[in-house]
């Protein structure tokens, strides 16, 4: 199963090989083999280089051998710059020569359909049997900037080794790997290595991620994944990264059906449930972003501030117009702009002119004209506010004299910030003087030319700070498994009375009642619980009872109940004559309240998640739900409820009282605990869960429940 956990493969010897063989070396400088050799020579690679070429006896003064069989034993990494047709034989020969690993540029494998997948499976089996690690196929290789080793067919300019702690990049797409490399280097951000994994016959993103987590030079990891093939291993590594204080920023397309289809055709990935994956990834504090810009921008900030605090965003500028735009944009993003504490307001008022309003967002007016250094002090004052977790300073680039003020007085102060602080230089592509650029680069202050991009990135940073705290509060597995309500039916679906009774054992509030197998038993139950009652047909094969007339409500007395008993059985028999009912569930009618849906499912790869949302049109028309991991703490579930589009309905509108949010959160947590403790359970659906005002004697009530399990 793709979700199974295994230990990561070691890739250190691949990333820093002491010996390299280029199979398919060529004197043609524009061939794949020619590009690889030229890159190694430009970067001054000091290890052994062995060339295999059928057409040349020497290239650039280096001797060539004709076949792989002539290579020395124990080559660290062989680069296969040859067509797909020759790959199997080359890998077989490399295995015989006891090579450690091979890297395949060739395409035409799983991304090319069933025939290609068969070729890839044969290649994988051969490598596995030989103990040879494979990078690719269908990849562009890697660039180890820290070690000065460029093993890619892209022609790269020579670079000095990167000695500063920086970003590690891993991407299944070679194009995206190269794009991210150029983006980070273009921003002059230290980048330790950039690795393209392609179709991942053996070495995958999880293996490279494990290397980056252990690598002291890598401070933050940027990932582009079209499919995480080993989800449980990835989640385990994400937890390790969190413990090590190394953010993992992930861009994973697949929100749309067409994106999922494209991912399959691109890398041969089998796209899973994207929403489930994102919920689980965020539970381990992986920073899942929605765009390439956000991947680059968020990584840039987290490189400087890898363990950001939770808290809202502060925004300051010298423009009322920019302040107003920030208000709108933050509202669109759902980005919190906290109200400043009274102590902060008092400090700001002492710094600002009388006509300035000490608030967030802050328009500090024209104070920078005479006292440019004061802007930085205002920023530090806002950052000291307990509600502020990060801040944006948006200022124009300005003429040369203004840039000197900013370089000398503002940038050094912003660099002292201990919470994420970013500088936005407005004016689009207006030129920045070299001395100003150098001051910004030397300071390490993240700089943007767009306030929109900066705020999106800070939203991700703030979410990461919150996720770190959520992960620390996540509920550890502790609840023991409850015996299932009986033998698992052939279709896996327990009848309502069984599933509801099982959940009631765990603490779920359900209506009073019981299963009746005759009209007399039904009358006895109704007499005990009181009228009016509900009557529901019960059978494993009848999960949708209303479709066959199997639900009757508002039965006011015994006569109505007995008459209803006959009508219900007659209706079910007319629709499903072959069906044998277990009986009928007799329950007290619950009082009216606000209807919600709580459901859980177990993804074969990603594990259990729980969905919560309002019922009726809210879920059908607006898809207004929150998907949360099964381990989320109750206090965080309450926060998620507040993020529903219809959250105002929960809180109470037009004079209606708000419902008991902690009571709803307890049900969500209870369902999560059951999913974690009972691995046989694959699905739980409570629809509706009726919620009542806070302080009610009965804060929530599950009117219907479906429990689905798999047989051992």
For 666-693, the pLDDT digits (tens) are: 999 999 999 999 999 999 999 999 999 9
Q: Kindly give the parts of the chain with pLDDT less than 70.
A: 1-5, 255-272
Number of Cβ atoms within 10 Å of the Cβ of 584:
30
DSSP string of 580-617? Answer: ---EEEEEEPPPP-EEEEEEEEEETTTEEEEEEEE-TH
CA distances from residue 328 to 12, 315, 334 in whole angstroms, order as listed: 47, 12, 10
Q: Left, alpha or beta for 188 (phi > 0: left; psi -120 to 50: alpha)?
A: left
Question: Contact 678/461 with Cβ under 8 angstroms?
Answer: no
- What integer pLDDT is reported at residue 255 of this predicted model? 67
- Residue-wise pLDDT for 38-75, tens only, equals 999 999 999 999 999 999 999 999 999 999 999 999 99
For residue 568, the SS3 value is helix
Rounded Cα distance between 479 and 500, Å, is: 18
Rounded Cα distance between 259 and 271, Å, is: 9
- What integer pLDDT is reported at residue 142 of this predicted model? 97
- What integer pLDDT is reported at residue 273 of this predicted model? 84
Residue 481 makes CB contacts below 8 A (sequence gap 6+) with 677, 678
Question: Contact 8/233 with Cβ under 8 angstroms?
Answer: yes
Rounded Cα distance between 89 and 54, Å, is: 14
Nearest to 24 by CA among 65, 81, 90, 104: 81
Tokens of 330: 């933050």
Number of Cβ atoms within 10 Å of the Cβ of 23:
28
DSSP string of 654-676? Answer: TTPPPB-HHHHHHHHHHHHHHHH
- What integer pLDDT is reported at residue 388 of this predicted model? 96
- What integer pLDDT is reported at residue 553 of this predicted model? 97
Phi and psi (nearest 5°) for 113?
Answer: 105, -170
Residue 706 makes CB contacts below 8 A (sequence gap 6+) with 493, 494, 496, 499, 543, 683, 684, 685, 686, 687
- What integer pLDDT is reported at residue 524 of this predicted model? 98
- What integer pLDDT is reported at residue 87 of this predicted model? 93
- What integer pLDDT is reported at residue 256 of this predicted model? 57
Rounded Cα distance between 465 and 390, Å, is: 10
């Amino acid at each position: 199963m793709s979700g199974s956990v295994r230990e990561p493969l070691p890739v250190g010897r691949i990333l820093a090989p002491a010996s390299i063989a280029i199979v398919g070396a060529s004197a043609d400088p524009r061939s794949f083999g020619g590009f690889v050799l030229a890159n190694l020579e430009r970067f001054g690679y000091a290890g052994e280089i062995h060339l295999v070429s059928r057409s040349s006896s020497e290239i650039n003064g280096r001797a060539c051998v004709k076949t792989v069989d002539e290579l020395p034993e124990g080559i660290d990494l062989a680069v296969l710059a040859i067509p797909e047709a020759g790959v199997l034989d080359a890998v077989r020969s490399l295995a015989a020569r006891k090579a450690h690993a091979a890297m395949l540029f060739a395409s035409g494998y799983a991304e090319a359909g069933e025939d290609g997948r068969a070729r890839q499976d044969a290649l994988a089996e051969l490598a596995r049997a030989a103990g040879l690690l494979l990078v690719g196929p269908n990849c562009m290789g890697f660039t180890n900037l820290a070690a000065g080793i460029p093993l890619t067919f892209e022609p790269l300019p020579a670079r000095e080794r990167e000695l500063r702690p920086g970003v590690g990049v891993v991407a299944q797409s070679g194009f995206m790997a190269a794009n991210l490399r150029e983006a980070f280097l273009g921003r002059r951000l230290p980048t330790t290595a950039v690795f393209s994994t392609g179709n991942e016959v053996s070495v995958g993103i999880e293996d490279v991620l494990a290397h980056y987590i252990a690598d002291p030079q890598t401070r933050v990891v940027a990932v582009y994944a079209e499919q995480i093939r080993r989800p449980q291993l990835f989640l385990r590594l994400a937890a390790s990264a969190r413990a090590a204080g190394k953010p993992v920023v992930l861009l994973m397309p697949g929100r749309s059906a067409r994106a999922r289809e494209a991912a399959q055709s691109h890398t041969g990935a089998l796209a899973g449930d994207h929403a489930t994956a994102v919920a689980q990834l965020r539970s381990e504090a992986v920073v899942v972003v929605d765009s390439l810009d956000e991947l680059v921008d968020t990584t840039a900030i987290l490189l400087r501030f890898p363990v950001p605090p939770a808290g809202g965003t502060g925004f300051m500028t010298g423009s009322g117009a920019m302040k107003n735009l920030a208000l709108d944009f933050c509202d669109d993003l759902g980005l919190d702009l906290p109200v400043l504490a009274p102590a902060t307001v008092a400090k700001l008022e002492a710094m600002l002119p009388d006509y300035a309003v000490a608030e967030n967002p802050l328009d500090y007016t024209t104070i920078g004209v005479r006292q440019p250094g004061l802007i930085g002090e205002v920023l530090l004052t806002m950052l000291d506010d307990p509600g502020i977790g990060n801040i944006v300073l948006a200022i124009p680039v300005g003429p040369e004299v203004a840039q000197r003020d900013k370089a000398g007085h503002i940038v050094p102060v912003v660099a002292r910030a201990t919470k994420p602080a970013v500088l936005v230089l407005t004016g689009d592509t207006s030129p920045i003087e070299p001395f100003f650029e150098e001051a910004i680069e030397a300071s390490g202050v993240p700089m943007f030319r767009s306030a929109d991009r900066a705020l999106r990135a800070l939203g991700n940073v703030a979410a990461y700070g919150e996720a770190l705290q959520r992960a620390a509060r996540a509920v550890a597995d502790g609840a023991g498994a409850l015996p299932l309500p009986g033998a698992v039916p052939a279709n896996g679906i327990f009848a309502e009375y069984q599933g509801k009774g099982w959940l009631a054992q765990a603490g779920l509030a359900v209506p009073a009642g019981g299963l009746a197998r005759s009209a007399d038993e039904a009358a006895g139950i109704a007499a005990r619980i009181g009228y009016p009652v509900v009557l529901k047909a019960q059978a494993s094969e009848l999960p949708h009872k209303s479709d066959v007339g199997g639900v009757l409500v508002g039965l006011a007395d015994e006569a109505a109940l007995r008459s209803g008993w006959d009508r219900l059985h007659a209706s079910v028999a007319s629709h499903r004559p072959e069906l044998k009912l277990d009986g009928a569930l007799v329950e007290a009618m619950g009082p009216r309240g606000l209807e919600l849906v709580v459901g859980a499912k177990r993804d074969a790869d990603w594990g259990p998640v729980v969905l919560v949302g309002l019922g009726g049109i809210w879920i059908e028309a607006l898809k207004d739900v929150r998907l949360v991991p099964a381990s989320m703490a109750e206090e965080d579930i309450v926060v998620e409820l507040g993020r529903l589009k219809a959250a105002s309905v929960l809180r109470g509108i037009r004079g209606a009282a708000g419902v008991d949010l902690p009571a709803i959160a307890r049900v969500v947590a209870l369902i999560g605990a059951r999913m974690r403790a009972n691995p046989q359970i694959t699905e739980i659906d409570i629809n509706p869960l009726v919620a009542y005002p806070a302080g009610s004697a009965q804060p929530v009530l599950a009117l219907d429940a479906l429990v689905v399990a798999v047989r051992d």
